[in-house]
């Protein structure tokens, strides 16, 4: 009876998708994200269950120490109806939203975003962004006390909300983060008109965010605890 019961339960779990080798689908265009990541064996039944790796998700409009021209903007398509932006002066034949070389306006403005990760490790940086045009599709970022780097300049669809990973030559760049608090600083690099909705650091290299992301669910407390 024990063997029969074990076979039935394992079969049910496998049918529910708990025991297969199916890899999570990386579909940036939509659908529900798969937990993916590492897997662990269930000692009693021998079933391989998915283990969700740590992620840190924060809303860009939660940024503090905003220095103009960075500001929070209402946007119904953004998570929570708000986003962080550096307003454009208007697109046109001369792209008026690009600050001239050598002027103070070229680098004026910044915003700080605090976040924390629960586990030390390597993380991929994802940002849900909206580009004004090909001349309003980048900004500078500084992680903690590290060197500033350019995010964007990717040539993706403009005036459309989508997720973009920080990458080089088509490969995501990994950031080594210690467990605990961190700071991400947005800086002006002469372009404007872009919008920033959500910032996500994912330890799982296979994880692809979809639409308006929600924070990972907290572990449930033990019954009666």
- Sequence spans of domains, the chain: 8-52, 56-202
Per CATH, domain 56-202 is 2.60.120.260: yes
The per-residue pLDDT string of the chain (225 residues; one tens digit each, 9 = 90 and over) reads: 444 444 433 343 344 444 333 333 334 333 334 434 444 444 444 455 455 788 999 999 999 999 999 999 999 999 999 999 998 866 655 555 566 667 777 788 999 999 999 999 999 999 999 998 887 899 999 999 999 999 998 877 788 999 999 998 888 999 999 999 999 999 998 888 899 999 999 999 999 999 999 876 655 555 554
Separation of alpha carbons 98 and 116, rounded Å: 33
In the prediction, which pLDDT does 88 show?
81
Instruction: Measure Cα distances from 7 to 18, 49, 72, 90 in Å.
Output: 14, 16, 56, 65
Question: Maximum distance among all alpha carbons in the chain?
Answer: 80
In the prediction, which pLDDT does 157 show?
79
Phi/psi of residue 47, nearest 5 degrees: -90, 140
Q: pTM for this structure?
A: 0.72
CA angle 138, 159, 58 (to 5 degrees): 60
In the prediction, which pLDDT does 170 show?
81
- Partnered with residue 140 across adjacent β-strands are 150, 187
Nearest Cα neighbor of 125 from 71, 57, 69, 179 is: 57
Rounded (10°) CA dihedral 37, 40, 42, 43: 180
């Amino acid at each position: 009876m024990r063997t029969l019961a074990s076979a039935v339960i394992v079969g049910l779990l496998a049918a529910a998708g708990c025991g297969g080798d199916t890899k999570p689908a990386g579909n940036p265009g939509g659908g529900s994200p798969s937990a993916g990541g590492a897997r662990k064996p269930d000692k009693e039944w021998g079933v391989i269950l998915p283990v969700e790796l740590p992620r840190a998700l924060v809303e860009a409009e939660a940024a503090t120490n905003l220095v103009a021209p960075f500001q929070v903007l209402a946007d119904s398509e953004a998570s929570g109806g708000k986003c962080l932006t550096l307003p454009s002066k208007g697109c046109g034949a001369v792209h008026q939203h690009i600050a001239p070389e050598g002027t103070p306006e070229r680098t004026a403005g910044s915003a700080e975003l605090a976040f924390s990760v629960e586990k030390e490790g390597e993380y991929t940086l994802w940002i849900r962004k909206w580009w004004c045009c090909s001349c309003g599709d980048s900004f500078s970022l500084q992680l903690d006390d590290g060197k500033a780097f350019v995010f964007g300049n990717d040539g993706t669809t403009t005036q459309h909300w989508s997720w973009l990973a920080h990458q080089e030559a088509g490969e995501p760049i990994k950031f080594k983060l210690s467990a605990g608090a961190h700071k991400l600083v947005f800086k002006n690099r002469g372009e404007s008109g872009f919008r920033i909705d959500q910032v996500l650091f994912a330890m799982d290299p296979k994880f692809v965010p979809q639409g308006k992301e929600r924070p990972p669910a907290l572990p449930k407390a033990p019954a009666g605890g």
